Amino acid sequence: MSHQPGPGDESPAPPLKGLVGTSVAMQEVSATTRRVAASNASVLLLGETGTGKELVARAIHELSARGSGPFVRVNCGALSESLLESELFGHVRGAFTGAVANRAGRFEAAHTGTIFLDEINSTTPKLQVKLLRVLQEREFERVGDTETVRVDTRVIAASNRDLLDEVARERFREDLYYRLNVVPIVLPPLRSRRGDIPLLVTHFLGHYNRENDRGVVRVASAAAEALARYHWPGNVRELQNVVERCVVMAPGDEITLDLLPPTIRGDRAQAPSLPGRGGDLDSLARDLVEQGMATAAPDDDTLFDRVVSRVERELIAQMLGACGGVQLKAAARLGINRNTLRKKLLEHGLDEGGDG
């Protein structure tokens, strides 16, 4: 007996602009995005770096009743506390050195529209208090001012860390978390939706062929297999960069295995040599774990964090040295942006090197 469609039947949500994929996880992201767009609810986007959180934020804005209003993005991890406070809330003349005129902040700029707070996990407790007030009362004061500013701005926030874990570690306010987490949307890592890789490759090939006036239209089977089995720590953004590189470098109309980076081809990447150790980062990690286990108290639950921090510090220092102190190059090889690299240099007390 054939099934007649009923009112309760739902077909898969059509794809959103820029979000490519037919996996179950991406269909769920699309459906949730469309449902929440019709509301004014705060949305919390969760996922690893490069999974497409900004694309979802823009889609929510464009599909909402606020779509004709401004969409303002702020990378909370790229600025210090004082600069971020001024960036978000504005300041008045004389509020601090260099404040030579009144300046509206990003919340005011996003009035009647949407503000997207990326890397909100990077905000300090002081800023979290002000953000909580904006979410609750829709008002704030500019830096150095006593006059209250009221705004009608929808807030979409994103984090590449587990905010509940940050709450448990007392690095993120619990009340702010629940204010933001009205509707959570989790963006899956690329490694968990490998079936979408061919679609993404085709999408990026079309884009970069048009942008560079090229005609790379095929992917050799060996290259396709390598792309399918790679673990993609940089997610869709990393795949996008790889496809762009291949389009630019391909001598013909095909992406062949030799055009892919060594790590994707399956060649074991040589980690930077570490002074005085003569080994790679794996051996460094083992050494640090052994040292930590030897000195840690039985109930020490910070060992993992300390080991990760030390390994991260060594990797950044060596990569910056290998790139001649050029931050842009080192950041690209590390798979992060330059602002994130600068923040990491400050966190680890490392010399910032060059700025090229």
Q: Are 3 and 36 in contact (CB under 8 A)?
A: no
| DSSP state at residue 123 | -
* pLDDT tens-digit readout, 76-110: 988 888 889 888 998 777 666 666 678 888 999 99
What architecture is the 24-188 domain classified under in CATH?
Answer: 3-Layer(aba) Sandwich (3.40)
- Of 1.10.10.60, 2.30.33.40, 1.10.10.10, 1.20.120.1200, the CATH number of 281-347 is 1.10.10.60
Whether 281-347 and 191-265 are alike in CATH topology: the answer is no
* pLDDT tens-digit readout, 251-297: 999 999 999 998 898 765 444 444 444 445 555 555 555 555 445 55
Q: Which residues of 262-276 are buried (b: 16+ CB within 10 A; e: fewer)?
A: eebeeeeeebbebee
Question: What are the boundaries of each domain within the chain?
Answer: 24-188, 191-265, 281-347
Sign of CA dihedral 194, 256, 266, 277: negative
Residues 6+ positions from 255 with CB-CB distance below 8 Å: 201, 216, 218, 219, 220, 223, 243, 246
What architecture is the 191-265 domain classified under in CATH?
Answer: Orthogonal Bundle (1.10)
Return the pLDDT at 316: 83
Burial class for 231, CB neighbours closer than 10 Å (0-12, 13-18, 19+): exposed
C-alpha pair distances (Å), 234 with each of 48, 240, 303, 335 = 8, 10, 26, 6
pLDDT tens string for the chain (356 positions)?
Answer: 444 444 444 455 556 777 899 999 999 999 999 999 999 999 999 999 999 999 999 999 999 999 999 999 999 988 888 889 888 998 777 666 666 678 888 999 999 999 999 999 999 998 999 999 999 999 988 887 788 889 999 999 999 888 998 999 899 999 999 999 999 999 999 999 999 999 999 999 999 999 999 999 999 999 999 999 999 999 999 999 999 999 999 999 999 999 999 889 876 544 444 444 444 555 555 555 555 544 555 455 555 566 667 777 778 877 777 776 778 777 777 767 777 788 888 877 776 555 44
Neighbours of 212 (CB within 10 A): 12
Q: Are 13 and 24 in contact (CB under 8 A)?
A: no
Compute CA 289 distance to the chain's CA centroid, rounded to the nearest angstrom.
29
Helices (H) and strands (E) in the chain — how many of each? 15, 9
